Amino acid sequence: MNSQISQIIELALAEDIGAGDVSASLLTNEVVNAKIISRESAIVCGVEYAQHAFSTIDDSVDVVWKVNDGDEVSENQTLCLLKGQSRSIVTAERVALNFLQTLSATATQTRFLVDKIAHTKAQLLDTRKTIPGLRWAQKQAVKCGGGVNHRMGLYDCVMIKENHILAMCSIGSAIDMAKNRYPKLPLIVEVEDLNQLNEVLLHDGITRILCDNFSIDMLISAVKTTKNKTPLEASGNIDEHNIAKIAQTGVDYISTGSITKNIRAVDFSLRIIE
């Protein structure tokens, strides 16, 4: 079990249970059968989290999964079958479902947008706009949905944005300092217009150029100007309505925070089987 998963599950259970599950204490603690079903179509993610929620409460609860992360499920499809003490199952239920619903939401929204650009070369990237404490989990969900991970945090990639450029007076000085101080890290530079793009192209060693809030015409010009010298990423105000047109400009990547922050939990339900 990944230590990150263990830690986050334990925190979630502690938050939910506190001094004890008073409602579960009312039950006759007998062995029951249960199942988790999907109330709608979705891309599943979070199996390991849900599994760990049940096993942390009671490792004698038997969970037989009928799906894996990345699988597509339909309405009324069974995700897993459970057998164990009734108190243990209902105590772990909400935490297990919360992870399944949230991570599956990210995977499902990712797949929805990935399908819209499947006819192009563009790949869908996530961002750092994740639910606090769920960065690693949501980025795994993005991969389940067919997306690609951007930087994990502020430590694994140098990303020069508008405020960095303003604070350091110029794009060139920011790029030079980044390359000198962190020569082994990826370097991404954000540009806001074609003039800045041309300035960045004067420098070698750039991993990717991020075109922030470019219009379709500007993206087409950027692709022509770059001539495959440096990969281009489009970002800013991207949604299901314009993502295909943006991908068709020829950019290499499209990043959007919507797949991790503007999500709707998938409707999963746990029911004890009579």
Summarize pLDDT for 222-237 with one digit per residue, the tens. Answer: 999 999 899 999 999 9
Interatomic CA distance for residues 86 and 108, integer angstroms: 31
Mean pLDDT, to the nearest integer, of 42-70?
A: 97
Q: What percent of the chain has pLDDT over 70?
A: 100
Interatomic CA distance for residues 50 and 269, integer angstroms: 13
Mean pLDDT, to the nearest integer, of 158-166?
A: 87
Residue 233 · residue 188 · CB < 8 Å? yes
Confidence of residue 164 (pLDDT cuts 50, 70, 90): confident
For Cα atoms 92, 6, 126, give the angle at the middle one, nearest 5 degrees: 100
Interatomic CA distance for residues 217 and 108, integer angstroms: 30
Which domains occur in the chain, in start order? Answer: 3-108+264-273 (3.90.1170.20), 114-261 (3.20.20.70)
User: In this model, does residue 206 exceed pLDDT 90?
Assistant: yes
Tokens 């404490």 belong to which residue?
Answer: 133
Helix (H, G, I), strand (E, B) or coil at 49: helix
Confidence of residue 89 (pLDDT cuts 50, 70, 90): very high
Q: What is the pTM of this model?
A: 0.93
Per-residue confidence (pLDDT) for residue 265, from 0 to 100: 97
Mean pLDDT, to the nearest integer, of 79-102?
A: 97
Active site residue ranges? 94, 129, 161, 190, 212
Helix (H, G, I), strand (E, B) or coil at 142: helix
Confidence of residue 144 (pLDDT cuts 50, 70, 90): very high
Per-residue confidence (pLDDT) for residue 29, from 0 to 100: 87
User: In this model, does residue 1 exceed pLDDT 70?
Assistant: no
Mean pLDDT, to the nearest integer, of 241-248?
A: 98
Interatomic CA distance for residues 193 and 100, integer angstroms: 41
Mean pLDDT, to the nearest integer, of 114-118?
A: 98
Per-residue confidence (pLDDT) for residue 216, from 0 to 100: 97
Higher pLDDT, 264 or 170: 264
Residue 123 · residue 255 · CB < 8 Å? no
Per-residue confidence (pLDDT) for residue 79, from 0 to 100: 98
Residue 140 · residue 252 · CB < 8 Å? no
- According to DSSP, residue 24 is labeled G
What pLDDT digit, counting tens, does each position of 63-72 carry?
999 999 999 9
Higher pLDDT, 170 or 247: 247
Buried b (16+ CB within 10 A) or exposed e, 159-169: bbeeebbeebe
Mean pLDDT, to the nearest integer, of 198-213?
A: 96
Helix (H) or strand (E) run with residue 76 in it? none
What pLDDT digit, counting tens, does each position of 173-189 carry?
999 999 999 999 999 99
Mean pLDDT, to the nearest integer, of 181-199?
A: 96
Lowest mean pLDDT among 38-42, 216-220, 227-231, 249-253: 227-231
Mean pLDDT value across the chain: 95
User: In this model, does residue 274 exceed pLDDT 80?
Assistant: no
Tokens representing 51? 């599994």
Q: Furthest-apart CA pair in the chain: how many Å?
A: 73
